[in-house]
């Protein structure tokens, strides 16, 4: 999504973390040049990094809310702050973070102060982490691709039973 290439959104994340007693890593992928951002004494900026490795040592994930990072955070038992982009799944995942009580969602145009406030809320309330850990237990051993294929096959079989003369 074009808004993922927003230097301002990434800088807001850096600035949000810069005044907290945390260490942060910001990865931008190929959406922006890391040199366009101003890291801080406690926040490093990289184009890429091994997210699984980082998440094994993290306490929280700030994300745009894409399914991959959102579920990876939950699989690792990490609460989230979702600064949702406009991608189809991102606002839904921000709402899910709130509904499932695993984190906070903030508007896509959230200021650094809004992001900072959400990060503090999530880090200061152990219930977010506890709920994320509970979900990680539920996700352990789940094969999402296989489950998804089974669901699609079931839907197609039901469609065929209702309309046996139709071609799919």
Domain that holds residue 34: 2-141
Q: Is residue 27 part of a domain?
A: yes
Domain count, the chain: 1
Check residue 85 and give its pLDDT. Answer: 81
Selection from 40, 76, 79 nearest residue 63 by Cα: 79
Indicate the pTM of the whole model: 0.85
CATH number, residue 59: 3.40.50.2000
pLDDT in tens, 26-46: 999 988 999 999 999 999 999
d(CA 100, CA 22): 25
Whether 165 is in a domain gets the answer: no
Q: What are the residue ranges of helices labelled H in the chain?
A: 7-18, 51-56, 67-75, 90-99, 112-124, 126-139, 144-162
Nearest 5°: phi and psi at 161? Answer: -65, -35
8-state DSSP, 158: H
Q: What is the pLDDT of residues 127-163, one digit of tens each?
A: 999 999 999 999 888 888 898 898 999 998 888 777 7
Number of other CB atoms surrounding residue 23 within 10 Å: 13
């Amino acid at each position: 999504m074009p808004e993922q290439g927003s230097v301002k959104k990434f800088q807001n994340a850096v600035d949000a973390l810069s005044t907290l007693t945390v260490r942060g890593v910001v990865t931008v992928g190929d959406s922006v040049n890391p040199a366009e951002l101003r890291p801080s004494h406690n926040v490093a900026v990289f184009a890429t990094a091994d997210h699984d490795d980082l998440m094994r040592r993290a306490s929280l994930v700030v994300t745009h809310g894409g399914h991959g990072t959102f579920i990876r955070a939950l699989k690792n038992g990490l609460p989230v702050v979702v600064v949702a982009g406009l991608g189809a799944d991102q606002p839904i995942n921000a709402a899910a973070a709130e509904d499932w009580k695993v984190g906070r969602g903030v508007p896509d145009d959230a200021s650094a102060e809004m992001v900072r406030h959400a990060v503090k809320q999530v880090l200061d309330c152990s219930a977010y982490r506890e709920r994320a850990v509970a979900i990680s237990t539920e996700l352990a051993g789940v094969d999402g691709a296989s489950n998804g294929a089974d669901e699609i096959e079931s839907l197609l079989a039901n469609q065929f039973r209702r309309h046996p003369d139709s071609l799919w």
